[in-house]
A and B are shown apart, each in its own frame.
Chain A
Amino acid sequence: MRSARNIFWLTIKELRSLRHDKMLLALLFFALTFSVYSQATGISTEVHHASIGIVDEDRTTLSRSIANAFYPPYFNDPVPISADEVESSMNAGRLMFVVNIPHGFEADVISLRGPEIQVNIDATAVMQANIGASYIQNIVNDEINRFVTGSDESSDLTVNLVTRKAFNPNGDPTWFASITAIIDQVTLLTIVLTGAALIREREHGTIEHLLVMPLTSFDIAVSKVCANGLVILIAVMISLSLVVETILDVPVAGSRWLLLGGIALYLFFATAMGIFLGTLSGSMAQFALLVLLTVLPLQMLSGAITPVESQPDWLQPITYFFPSRHFVSFSQSIIFRGAGIRDVWQQFVVTLSLGLVCFLASLFLFRRSIATSK
């Protein structure tokens, strides 16, 4: 009871201190609005404005109509180039795809000789190469079909395949990218904010003051978790409703409250991680490097940038202990698939337990770090 009251007042104190740090709040605002917006609209992991070149050696109606079939937003307007420019323009990264239409192509198509059309793909753009290649194939096939049959209807095959994308029917990349952006920002901001609050308190000597009062390390740590978590949670709520739902128009399929609950759990982990790293590091420089060491893997291996299933088999069990992976997974489920608590409770539990582990570890180190700080 007494502890709860202490935590409450310490949390109020933290919030008051935060209110005075205008620079931090400005950065927080910037990160969760502008950064999220530009990342969401800027990034698309699929093909989008891909640069394409056409080597047209045929110069016929068909070859020209193929060239004209590439247009934004998937592809930029094709650049006509000659065969000997192909290598240099791909080397310099100016062109991602080059379609080579050989001499006599149209004639061969008409006489059903099955001519070969060559597509050069810059395979270092690993996310776009494959998808782009299949787009190009489809676009070129459609053009040839239309040229030969004179109609848009494709002929029936023995078995027709209809592919439907569930949950995001148009495959709009903004939806996913905005969530990724929020997750990235939240991880970094929360850890740095909480850790820095602890280190600052240690440097100003106020932490000693707290420790000679009838407070436990638990009270102090929990109040930091609450205050910083609350601030970020509110910022995320604003970002979600204003930037993601209103400006970017991303529909949230599931329960917002469930999502909020999940975010709160993740913030518990991130604040605890911040305190843990803060107690672990002796100086600001060390803290900075430790943050990098933790935040980068948390961000990059969360499944938001590359799919978790693609990670090597030995790594997947390790990333299972990254709460960011569960955060990405359950927020995707809730936002896109409309998942309910029954679908995500396991991930909630894992996130909570990992947060608890961090929290307990930081409590364990708390006094020790105060003692060695001087």
Chain B
Amino acid sequence: MNVAETASVTHRYGKMTALDDVTLKLPAGKMVGLIGPDGVGKSTLIGLIAGAKQIQVGEVCVLDGSMGDSAHRQAVCPRIAYMPQGLGKNLYAELSVAENLHFFGRLFGQSAREREQRIGRLVKATGLDPFRDRPAGKLSGGMKQKLGLCCALIHDPDLLILDEPTTGVDPLSREQFWSLIAEIREQRPGMSVCVSTAYMEEAERFDWLIAMNAGQVLDEGTPSDLRGTQSATLEEAFIRLLPESERGEIEPLVIPPIATSDGPPAIIAKGLTRRFGNFTAVDHVSFEISRGEIFGFLGSNGCGKTTTMKMLTGLLPASEGEARLFGKVVDARSLQTRQRVGYMSQSFSLYEELTVRQNLMLHARLFAISEKQKRVKELATRFGLIEELDQSASSLPLGVRQRLSLAVAILHRPEMLILDEPTSGVDPVARDGFWRLLVDLSRKDNVTIFISTHFMNEAMRCDRISLMHAGKVLACDTPTQLIEARGEESLDRAFVGYIQDAIPPVNSGREGAEQEPKSQEHHSSEVGQKRIEDVIGSQHAVGTETTRSTKRVPRFAFGRLLAYTYRETLEVMRDPIRLGFALGGSVLLMLVLGFGMTTDVEDTRFAVLDQDQTPESRTYVQSFRGSRYFHEQPEITSHSELQSRMVSGDVSLVIEIPPDFGRRLKRGDSPEVSAWVDGAMPFRAETIKGYVEGVHVNYLADLARRAYGSTPSFYYADFESRFQYNPGFESINAMVPSVPAMLLVLIPAILMAVSVAKEKELGSITNFYVTPTNRLEFLLGKQLPYICIAMVNYALLTWMGVYVFGVPLKGSLAVLTIGAIFYVTATTGLGLVTSCFTHSQVAAVFATAIVAMMPTVQFSGMMQPVSTLGGSAQLIGSLWPTTYFMRMSVGAFTKGLGLHDLSGDLWALAAFSPVFVLLSAILLRKQER
């Protein structure tokens, strides 16, 4: 009986082959371990089995059906639980422990009572009970993984898939995690577990192992099968399985004893403390490291190792205490110290898009090293990077990247190296090679090395180590002395002992509360056992209420949709800055744009070039002075001045009166006055021209009245211009209703796009891949809260339009509001569509802003009615929802229209929203590629 089988599965990412023709069987009811270093295809294989990744080539059968078949996937996904790699990767950091669990429960359609029961038992069994209300993001690494396990177990899976669940977790939590799994399996023997791990020691306790390397299966069998007779440990066995070329150096690494140096210590830390808000990450840490020493720093993720290292490099200022490097206090601004220190941060932090050579050369140049080419060559040879010199860093395997990072860190021949988990995720052979380099540096070049790790065998190689837990250094000595001091047989056990000692017996303070239940559970396994029985027992009871095989998963469930809505709402509410920007920002923009965008041409700066200087010419000019449209500037005296003042933009209008104006006027000889209008801005020029002509006609009428005593008619017909809807012809009446139309597309679309892209970037989208959620539930569920935010915005902006700007809403508010609902549904839908094309938040923002900005501002009728736009602009305008809402908004506010006149636009808007949502549903993938 096999729970899963693969046949000739091949998987590629671009040019890189992750899995190469893999055929294997996972026995049912067993604990199956996938072992092998990082980057050999374990995660890909696990993702394929869990249904999170799309199959490219080959066949994957899980629970008696093909995972290539979406109907089968949908049917079996409630029987599979998948916990992806990375601490708390599938959790929602802003949500509390209980809220996370409730969310997963809802996705599997559990009723409130059922959820409450299951959650109650799970958190009790895992010791998370006291932290129900703590946000997942603030849990320690071990607790995150326990919570991840609870989330996976909430629906009683038949197949539990765990991808490197203990990477980066402290030894105590790691032990607890495995005993928890063992206990659960004891109670539910039918459940199959599939685990991947890079820790060979852990694999000893699995029932069945599959050793993988370079996308291929090396061997499979029980741990003792794999060890055979030749190898004492799995690690040795694994190295023996590798092809000869990859085995590395056969002779074991020997570390020469450290030469005693009597110079001053290289690093001194005294009471180093760092607080983030009310959280103390590093709590009075002190140590001294002498020159040439390899000093190991051990501890779980999040215990303060990285923070301490950052304080030593000056990246982070210390809240308290001081750090001295070579006797000098660490100063973030001192460039001299930086020349003496090499730093390698936790993740690969070189430029991935540059080649190895470019990376090395860049650093050589920035450190102003002499004979750059020679040094780069030398390092490449020493670190075995010669062949990769012209490959881009992104294409390198992790082990090689780490070598490159180290090469970069020592490029400037520093006297001290600060290395933050340099070997995390690197395979044993590459790790060995890396350590050879370190030992070389320390013993030959007398470089002081400060290194953090969570591999115990690496810690054993250090001259001295310090154990760190929850921001405090627990112990600091040579590895052998630490083991002796605790009377344990291994460093791992010694570490566990130190952690247990460090936990205060009562629930006092942050760490106490966190650790206390764990240790209880660890020690009194009987009690733990009892709890697990409770969990399993009750879950079976719940499970039998609806028999599994007959329980059909509905294709669309409103409950799942609401689960997403509820979760998204909580996340938004917990990010007050984002919410504040969304609401306050639109109010601010409304104020600035509503008042600022006005097309009323007033106070045009004009000047006169009066070459006549007679009473007649002055009378003519006088008629301009009286107009509110014009604002006179100092008189112009010459044609060259006219030219220069118009060029500099000092005046936009010049009235030029010819020398013989007065004389010709008296003679009745029709003198000609010239008006020069600045034509750079055509709209303004045209409007000014109209005003000038108006003033001129008035002047003529005045002149005639004075001459003949009556107003003559210059034209055969009288014009009666009726400015409909906006009799005062004030642009505010048209602009203010237009601004909300603009803001209600940009802000909701970007918020929406970022929200989906964030899930992709952080990896929580996996929950969508492996749960019964369908595309529409996911999209609509996430969309709802943003529609609500946008509607609050709409209400605010409308209120401002009426009460702040005093633009009366003459038409139907109800119709406008319905239109707004359609409109914001469409605009958030637009955000969904753009997010489908993008994988990062940066790209989502960029794409949405560029796609939305131009049609909204230029082509949707704010400045110019869409019907009068030309060519492609008109097409874009009529395919853009803003056009219709803009018309509705102006119609309802200024034109005073109701349902009858607005129904056309309303229908158009109603059509946009489903189109965008459906489009994004088609574009969204239900599996990762």
Contact = CB atoms under 8 A, between A and B. Distances in A.
Contact of B874 (A42, A105, A114): A42
A176 B665 contact: no
B200 interface: no
A205 B347 contact: yes
Contacts of B683: 45-46, 127, 131, 173
Interface in A83-125: 88, 90-94, 96, 105, 108-109, 112, 114-125
Contacts of A283: 578, 841
A286 B581 contact: yes
14 contacts: A19-B353, A42-B859, A43-B864, A88-B901, A96-B867, A105-B717, A115-B718, A116-B720, A159-B703, A200-B842, A206-B350, A215-B366, A289-B585, A307-B681
B368 A158 contact: no
Contacts of A17: 351, 353-354
**Interface pairs A-B: 3 shortest CB-CB:** A42-B873, A165-B679, A284-B841
A209 B342 CA distance: 10
A125 B865 contact: yes
Contacts of B874: 42
Nearest to B661: A159
B314 interface: yes
Nearest to B643: A166
B405 to A, nearest CB: 9
A134 interface: yes
Interface of A: 2, 5-6, 9-10, 12-13, 16-17, 19-21, 23-24, 27, 30-31, 35, 38-39, 41-51, 76, 88, 90-94, 96, 105, 108-109, 112, 114-131, 133-134, 137, 140-141, 144-145, 148, 156-169, 171-173, 175-176, 181, 184-185, 188-189, 192, 196, 199-200, 204-206, 208-209, 211-216, 282-293, 295-297, 299-301, 305-307, 309-312, 315, 319, 329, 332-333, 336-339, 343, 367, 370-371, 374
Given A38-B871, A121-B724, A213-B366, A145 B716 contact: yes
Interface residues of B, number: 152
B682 interface: yes
B671 A166 contact: no
A88 B891 CA distance: 12
A212 B351 contact: no
Nearest to B592: A297
A76 B868 CA distance: 9
A288 B693 contact: no
B226 to A, nearest CB: 37
Contacts of B647: 333, 337-339, 343
A159 B671 CA distance: 5
Interface string B682-723: 111111011011001001100110000000011111111111
Given A17-B354, A20-B353, A121-B722, A127 B599 contact: yes
A92 B727 contact: no
A46 B686 contact: yes
A109 B713 CA distance: 12
Interface stretch (B188-196, B357-365, B529-537): B357-365
B459 interface: no
Contacts of B850: 27, 30-31, 188-189
B564 to A, nearest CB: 18
B845 A287 contact: yes
Nearest to B689: A163
B660 interface: no
A337 B646 contact: yes
Given A10-B366, A285-B578, A305 B863 contact: yes
A74 to B, nearest CB: 10
B732 to A, nearest CB: 9
A297 B721 CA distance: 34
A309 B868 contact: no
Nearest to B735: A126
Interface in B575-619: 575, 577-578, 581-582, 585, 588-589, 592-593, 595-605
A129 B890 CA distance: 15
B914 interface: no
A43 B869 contact: yes
Given A43-B858, A301-B593, A5 B719 contact: no
A167 B649 CA distance: 11
Given A161-B696, A188-B850, A156 B670 contact: yes
A119 B721 contact: yes
Interface string B825-869: 000000000000000111111111110011001110001110111
Nearest to B877: A42
Contacts of A21: 353
A5 B368 contact: yes
A171 B687 CA distance: 12
A120 B843 CA distance: 48
Contacts of A371: 315-317
Contact of B682 (A41, A46, A293, A311): A46
A126 B873 contact: no
A196 B842 contact: yes
A309 B575 CA distance: 40
A198 B336 CA distance: 25
Contact of B676 (A166, A175, A297): A166
A141 B366 contact: no
B273 to A, nearest CB: 15
B701 to A, nearest CB: 10
Nearest to A179: B680
Contacts of B461: none
Nearest to B650: A343
Contacts of A336: 679-680
A129 B602 contact: no
A29 B307 CA distance: 42
A141 B686 contact: no
A192 B685 contact: no
Given A16-B358, A38-B873, 4 more contacts: A114-B716, A114-B718, A214-B338, A315-B592
Given A131-B690, A206-B349, A212-B338, A123 B680 contact: no
Interface string B898-914: 00010010000000000
Q: Name the residue in B674, B693, B846, B868 with the highest tally of chain A Cβ atoms < 10 Å from its Cβ.
A: B868
A166 B620 CA distance: 22
Contacts of B665: 158-159
B675 interface: yes
Contacts of A112: 716
A51 to B, nearest CB: 5
A173 B869 CA distance: 12
A220 B864 CA distance: 44
A111 B74 CA distance: 86
A158 B703 contact: yes
B682 A168 contact: yes
Given A91-B897, A162-B674, A209-B349, A214 B864 contact: no
A118 B332 contact: no
B894 interface: yes
A212 B315 contact: yes
A31 B853 CA distance: 11
A93 B673 contact: no
B278 interface: no
A145 B599 CA distance: 33
Contacts of A339: 647-649
B173 to A, nearest CB: 22
Contacts of B578: 283, 285-286, 289
B731 interface: yes
Nearest to A315: B596
A296 B746 contact: yes
B734 A125 contact: yes
A47 B646 CA distance: 25
Given A119-B720, A131-B683, A164-B675, A49 B868 contact: yes
A214 B853 CA distance: 41
A315 B310 CA distance: 46
Contacts of A47: 686, 868
Nearest to B342: A212
B898 to A, nearest CB: 10
Nearest to B856: A296
